[in-house]
Amino acid sequence: MGLFSKNKPKIKVQTVKKDGYSGWIKCTHCHEIIHANELQENLSCCPKCNYHYRLSGSQRIKLLSDQDSFEELFTSLKPMDPLNFIDTESYANRLLKAAKTSCRDEAVIVGRAVICEIPVALGVLDFTFMVGSMGSVVGERLTLLIEYALDHELPVVIVSASGGARMQESALSLMQMAKTSAALAKLHEEGLAFISVMTNPTLGGVTASFASLGDIIIAEPDALIGFAGPRVVEQTMRKKLPPNAQCSEFLLEKGMIDCIVPRHQLKQTLSDLLTFLTHQKKPKSPLLEKPLKKIPQKLQDLLELSAIAGQELKR
């Protein structure tokens, strides 16, 4: 056998698919080779193209809340299979698999947290559990979180990453859209703030309910946001969608969201908004070594107009 005819082992380069990679990996967006440590240090954003990879629920909580401030609530609520639903496999088996892969018992984590010394009611959808789909327990936990915020007069922050309502629970999951929306209406009546953060992706019944009802709606860069996926929309309308029609940048132009905030600025932006909406003094935290960033002028104008309108309604 000749020297050049030997089978040579191929060099394998990992792509970013899930947490836990080590060594060199290839960005699935720009295809550049980067080191896993560099990606983690950059909050799971590609240092070359700034593509925002998904975070798990626990990673998101660690990013946004002050150290050791998060206290999880309503953990006794567990998902069940009331319809004995079976497609290619039973819903009960899917729940077991999702719990094993995500190390969570449901697609949402709710609790009390502190963001830059401001207490909040925080909810985070975890895409690693059945693509963050909203079933009856997800809707109930979010509703209880909002009611907890009402009882304790706290602002609410919910971070969405979801494929929509969970089909295995049929109408039981669909009714969570109305239930969470009704709870947020009560929150609004009491004058408590709700900030919605949409991440990649936020789709289906989640977009059509609580995720779109924020007093302020924030999105991460290049996030897919919509009701149905682009292919389904094109097949239904029999018309080609504009390029990036469901990305956060396009939706910002059309007024569906208020601002796009890169991940490394998200906690500080939430702090600025919560300070404005709750009329609190800006905390002097030792964690904030850098000077505070100003709220974008357009958003500042919007907030001032909202405050003036609220005062006029009270008169």
pLDDT at 286 over 60: no
Residue 92, pLDDT > 90, answer yes
| Pick from 87-96, 135-144, 152-161, 294-303: least confident | 294-303
Per-residue pLDDT of 107-162, as tens digits, reads: 999 999 999 999 999 999 999 999 999 999 999 999 999 999 999 999 999 999 99
CATH architecture of 54-286: Alpha-Beta Complex (3.90)
Handedness of CA 37, 47, 19, 28 (dihedral sign): negative
Q: What pLDDT score does 241 carry?
A: 86
With bands split at pLDDT 50, 70 and 90, how would you rate the model's confidence at 13? Answer: very low
Give, for 176, the enclosing helix (H) or strand (E).
helix 171-189
- 187, exposed or middle or buried, with CB in 10 Å at 0-12, 13-18, 19+? buried
The pLDDT tens digits for 223-270 are 999 998 888 888 988 888 888 889 999 999 999 999 999 999 999 999
pLDDT band at 279 (very low <50, low <70, confident <90, very high): confident
173-189 confidence digits (pLDDT tens): 999 999 999 999 999 99
pTM reported for the whole predicted model: 0.83
Instruction: Give the mean pLDDT of the chain.
Output: 88
The pLDDT of residue 2 is: 57
With contact defined as beta carbons under 8 Å apart, do 111 and 122 qualify?
A: yes
Q: Tell me, what's the pLDDT at 166?
A: 97
Residue 17 has pLDDT above 70, yes or no: no
CB atoms within 10 A of CB 241: 14
Where are the domains positioned within the chain? 9-53, 54-286
Could you report how far apart the first and last alpha carbons of the chain are, in Å?
92
pLDDT digits 0-9 by tens, 26-84: 999 999 999 999 999 999 999 999 999 999 999 999 999 999 999 999 999 999 999 99
Task: Dihedral sign for Cα 144, 150, 154, 157, please.
Answer: positive
pLDDT exceeds 50 at position 19:
no
Phi, psi torsion values for 209, nearest 5 degrees: -130, -115
Peptide bond into 230 cis (omega under 30): no
Q: What does the pLDDT read at residue 289?
A: 45
Mean pLDDT of 9-17: 50
What value does the mean pLDDT take over residues 79-90? 95
* Interaxial angle between packed helices 263-278 and 57-64, expressed in degrees from 0 to 180 and rounded to the nearest 10: 60
* Rounded mean pLDDT, 1-10: 55
Distance (Å, whole) CA 94 – CA 74: 22
User: Strand, helix or coil at 65?
Assistant: coil
